[in-house]
Structure 1
Amino acid sequence: MDSGSHKIYHIHGFDSRQLLEDYFSDKPDMVFEEDALMFPIENLTKTFTEGHIKGDVLIDLSLGSLVHHLYSACEFFRHIIVLKVSDRCIMELKRWLDSRTGAFNWGHAAKLHLEKEGKSDQLEDTEGKVRSAVLHVLKCDLEKENITHPIVLPPADCIISAWLLEYTSKDQDDYRRYIRKFSRMLKPRGHLIITGSLNTTYVIVGKDKIHCLRYDEDFAKKVLFEEDFIVDYCKVKKRTAVSDLTDYKAVIFIAAHKKK
């Protein structure tokens, strides 16, 4: 299948539950634990516990129905607003937020987070804190000037975007355009935290082959610089997973803030 026939995440959609099962679950044959779970949890815990990033409003603009990147964040923000590009992702996330039967079990990710903080006995409290912190789950359209139109969101102290940009960007211009939109949603000197996969061209979810924008660390930093961000922290980890489901070469974590 050539790249032109790959599905585009926010246009064609995919099975959001299958994504969780294949890339973020605790099943025995899930080979992405170190890259997809441990890496972001370690870096988010480090970034937030340093105490520089906190405030009233955190906006989450991430892939699928991910939750594990919010465990650290909920300790430092009063409210979390989650934006999703599809109804299917919203439904899957709300199933977990409402503790409904059949919800994806994120307990293994919560345990990893708590182990990093030395609080292994606080699993229920941790998941409860995330659920309580999520103020809204809203559908967004990345192509609109105001992506939540007609709702106008308050300027955010921080935006987290986990594995979204490479899935939604058809080319490098799209990547720049989305970073610019994220910037406009932030307060002056607001923070942007990005987790992504480097040099990826596809991800397989169920029967679907999903397009990913191929980019490297230098490109990501260059775009942030061009959009008036200062990179405060960047970590790249070479791929460890052995799988044909996706072809990424490394994972990246970047924490940056607006110059003004």
Structure 2
Amino acid sequence: MMDSSPHKLYHVHGFDSRKYLEHYFSDKPDMVFGEDSLKFVIENLRQVFAVGHISGDILIDLSIGSLVHHLYSACEFFENIIVLKVNNRCIMELKRWVDERTGAFYWGHTSTLLQEKEENSNQFEDKEGKVRSAIQHVVKYDLEKENMTEPLVLPPADCVISAWLLDYISKDQDDYIRYLRKFSGLLKPGGHLIIIGSLDKTYCTVGKDKFHAFSYNEDFVRKVLVGEGFIIDYCNTKERTAVSDLTDYKAMIFIAAHKEK
């Protein structure tokens, strides 16, 4: 069945990862998504990891574009971070930052946001350096393969983080459930899953292109997680504050859960 959406699909068509970062995550004065895409994410991750229940050897990151700021808190609780990306452009953008190459996207404004929340800011000298050191591998994956990283077989993860990816790769409810099941299959028994997404969103603009987004609500995500054998430990939503026609989400959602053993 052909997709009737006029919008492009992230995992099929790919997008300009630098423009995506500049539109939604930069420190530019006209970047209006700071409260939603930066502060909301950083604060919720800080709270969840501070409790101390989520930690271990391996964290797998399955997120949209070439994001970094959602890994600041995680790098304090995991020895190794494995980042999975669906296209080469996102891999190149991320590696440029990891290797501190000229022209890498500037994330300093986001590390400052976390520093403002830390009780002891003196220990916050090089959060970005810790993330760089923790990222052991950046691997390309194929969503349609049974083993997404074939021929590589990844070790089971203690935690999987997925920021906004399910929004863009899912055409409908069945897709969302299928892909979430794939992601949860990367976890150890009892492992933790953290999902960051946008509620009631139908599109996202990157440059001149509009990309499809699957529209869902909080109740849907909760039911899917419970149906897949997860126990929800934490959930927070935030109504949209950004004024922009680049994208049409109504709210942000952050949800942390663990898989029943």
Q: Is TM more than 0.5 here?
A: yes
- Compared CA separation, residues 249 and 42, structure 1 to 2 (3 A): same
Distance in 1 separating the partners of 2:122 and 2:204: 35
Compute the TM-score of the two structures, normalised by the length of structure 1. 0.98
- Asked if the contact 1:194–1:254 (Cα under 8 Å) also holds between the matched residues in 2, the reply is yes
- Report the Cα offset of residue 125 of structure 1: 1.5
CA-atom RMSD in angstroms: 1.2
- Is structure 2 residue 44 aligned with structure 1 residue 19? no
The amino acid that maps onto 1:72 is S
CA contact (8 A) 1:203 1:245 kept: yes
Partner of 1:235: 236
C-alpha offsets along residues 170-220 of structure 1, whole Å, 9 cap, x if unaligned? 111010001111121100000000000000000000011000000000000
Taking the aligned partners of 2:95 and 2:125, their CA distance within structure 1 comes to: 18
Moved more, 212-221 or 117-126: 117-126
Matches within 5 A, 1:174-185: 174-185=175-186
Q: Quick one: which amino acid aligns to residue 165 of structure 1?
A: L
Counterparts of 1:51 and 1:203, CA distance in 2: 34
1:156 aligns with: 157
TM-aligned CA deviation for residue 117 of structure 1: 1.1
Identity of aligned residues (%): 72
How far is 1:116 from its partner? 1.1
Q: Give the deviation of 1:33 after TM superposition.
A: 0.1
Q: CA deviation at 1:113?
A: 1.1
**Distance in 2 (alpha carbons) for counterparts of 1:33 and 1:159:** 24
Question: Which position in structure 2 is the counterpart of 1:37?
Answer: 38
Provide the rounded CA distance (Å) in 1 between the counterparts of 2:70 and 2:13. 25
Deviates more, 1:33-42 or 1:114-123: 114-123
Q: 1:191 touches 1:255 (CA, 8 Å); kept in 2?
A: yes
Judged with a 3 Å threshold, the aligned counterparts in structure 2 of structure 1 residues 119 and 108 are, in CA distance, closer, same or farther, namely farther
Give, in angstroms, the shift of residue 115 of structure 1: 1.1
- Asked if 1:255 corresponds to 2:259, the answer is no
More deviation, 109-118/44-53:
109-118
| Cα distance in 2, alignment partners of residues 38 and 120 from structure 1 | 17
Aligned mates of 1:160, 1:209 — CA distance in 2? 25
What are the ranges of 5 or more consecutive residues in structure 2 without an aligned counterpart?
Answer: none
TM-score (norm 2): 0.97
Q: Which residue of 1 aligns with 2:170?
A: 169
Which position in structure 2 is the counterpart of 1:90? Answer: 91
Q: Aligned partners of 1:251, 1:172: CA distance in 2, in Å? A: 18
CA displacement at 1:4 relative to structure 2? 1.2
User: Structure 2: how far apart are the matches of 1:172 and 1:52?
Assistant: 30
Give structure 1 stretches of 5+ with no counterpart.
none
Superposed, 1:1-260 pairs within 5 Å as 4-121=5-122, 124-260=125-261
Contact residue 200 and residue 249 of structure 1 kept, 8 A:
yes
SS of alignment partner, residue 48 of structure 2: helix
Deviations along 1:2-25, one digit per CA (max 9) or x if unpaired, are 961100000001100000001000
How far is 1:118 from its partner?
3.3
